[in-house]
């Protein structure tokens, strides 16, 4: 089952086709796919960042203005409700093979692109 696929339309037009492909690749294995976050406003990103720096979330969040989510360049997706599981890693590997950016276990649900972060953001 796929949940949240419609939100992929929030992605940049050059990122969306690869994202749609990745979602369908996972679903075609019979795995549950849940798209959990795509575009984020400044306010949403700031809330996530504040939670991150206060230790209230386990997944990292960049400062407001510094997240790929704010530019339509990334989406978060959980495979089989096991974000640190082998199926998530398999899909992360597939994303890398088509040129996507997947950091691995520190933020396994994040599927992004290689980019240069805005100035003042540091390494994200």
Give residues in contact with Zn ion (CB under 5 A).
74, 76, 110
**Closest-CB residue for Zn ion?**
110
Least spacing, CB of residue 92 vs Zn ion, in Å: 12
Least spacing, CB of residue 37 vs Zn ion, in Å: 6
Please, which residue, 30 or 43, has the CB nearer to Zn ion?
Answer: 43
Please, which residue, 30 or 56, has the CB nearer to Zn ion?
Answer: 56
Please, which residue, 31 or 71, has the CB nearer to Zn ion?
Answer: 71
Listing DSSP states for the chain in one string gives: -EESGGGGGGS-TTTHHHHHHHHHHHHHTT--EEEEE----HHHHHHHHHHHHTT--SS--PPTT--GGGGT--EEEEETT-TTSHHHHHHHHHHHHTT-B---TTSTTEEB----PPTT----
């Amino acid at each position: 089952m796929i949940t949240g696929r419609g939100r992929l339309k929030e992605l940049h037009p050059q990122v969306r086709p690869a994202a749609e492909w990745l979602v369908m690749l996972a679903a075609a294995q019979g795995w549950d796919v849940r798209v959990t976050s795509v575009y984020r406003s400044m306010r949403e990103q700031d809330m996530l960042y504040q939670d991150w720096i206060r230790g209230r979330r386990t997944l990292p969040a960049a400062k407001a203005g510094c997240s790929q989510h704010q530019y339509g360049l990334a989406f978060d997706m959980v495979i089989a409700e096991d974000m640190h599981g082998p199926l998530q890693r398999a899909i992360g590997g597939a994303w890398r093979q088509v040129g996507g950016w997947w950091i691995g276990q520190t933020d396994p649900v994040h599927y992004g692109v290689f980019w240069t972060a805005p100035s003042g953001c540091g390494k994200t």
